[in-house]
Amino acid sequence: MIQSFPTITKIKNFFIEIGDITYFSNRFFKELFSKPFEFKEFLRQCYNMGNKSLGLVLITGFIIGLVLTLQTRPTLEQFGAEAWMPSMVSISLIREISPIITALICAGRIGSGIGAELGSMRVTEQIDAMEVSGTNPFKYLVVTRVLATTLMVPILVIFGDVMGLYGSYLVENLKGDVSFFLYFNKVFNAIEFSDLIPATIKTFFFGYAIGIVGCYKGYYCEKGTVGVGIAANSAVVYTSMLLFIIDFIAVFVTDIFI
């Protein structure tokens, strides 16, 4: 009975934090449509997030395409179904593998960066100084970053899709002597709008989740350098869990309506 109290406290704190994040999200949407619009800061965040994450996403997508094809091809060869390789890889990458892997990379790369950056600003009282000077720190720091992640994650996923398909093509070209035009002709014949649209829509939710959780953890960081580390780490953990929940809901809804 005594050991149950810490568990109850943790559950209580978990639901309290969900409520705080919900309130934080509501505040984001209120500030989003109010003036002034920090357009320059938004563009700067888009460039920083997209440019600094692009290389990692391209390399990861390329390797995923290579590995997926190398691992799957022997099984398909046993059934004489190598011709289905482009269709299988393209649908797997575009529907599920590339969006969730890219989002997890962004959660580790961007989400932790946002948590650490805003956390250090909170610890050094820069956010308090902005409030005293009459600047709206929530508008300048949070809204711009959440919008940037919401926009840039889908773009990064598209680049990851392309590199994954190109990596798969290289394996098929070496193993099965498949030409570039033949491979991608099969890819485009296999892909339908019912594959592209849900996979693209959910990446916007992925980006929003990465931005809002990272900003929340950093904006309300505890005092001290330890708090900055906790904010960065918890931003990645919470975002990763939330990404899988969003992905499950998206797949479930898509399965029902499409």
pLDDT tens string 167-193: 999 999 998 888 899 999 999 999 988
Residue where the block lists tokens 């070209």: 173
* pLDDT of residue 150 exceeding 90: yes
| Structural Rg of the chain based on CA atoms | 21
Element (H, E) at 119: helix 112-123
Instruction: Give the mean pLDDT of 227-240.
Output: 90
Burial class (CB in 10 A: 0-12, 13-18, 19+), 130: middle
Gap between the Cα atoms of 258 and 253, Å rounded:
8
Residue where the block lists tokens 């990272």: 214
Sequence-separated (6 or more) residues with CB below 8 Å from residue 133: none
pLDDT at 5: 60
Burial class (CB in 10 A: 0-12, 13-18, 19+), 206: buried
The interaxial angle of helices 225-257 and 193-219, nearest 10 deg, is: 160
* pLDDT of residue 223 exceeding 80: no
Instruction: Specify whether the CB–CB gap between 234 and 110 falls below 8 A.
Output: no
Residue where the block lists tokens 């904006």: 219
pLDDT at 213: 95
* pLDDT of residue 2 exceeding 50: no
Residue where the block lists tokens 């948590």: 115
H helices then E strands: how many in the chain?
A: 11, 0
Torsion region of 21: left, alpha or beta (phi above 0 gives left; psi -120 to 50 gives alpha): alpha
Instruction: Specify whether the CB–CB gap between 39 and 143 falls below 8 A.
Output: no
pLDDT at 218: 92
pLDDT at 1: 43
Backbone angles phi, psi at 190, to 5 degrees: -85, -30
pTM of the predicted model as reported, rounded to 2 decimal places: 0.91
Which candidate, 89, 81, 88, places its Cα nearest to that of 64?
Answer: 89
Burial class (CB in 10 A: 0-12, 13-18, 19+), 170: middle
Confidence of residue 98 (pLDDT cuts 50, 70, 90): very high
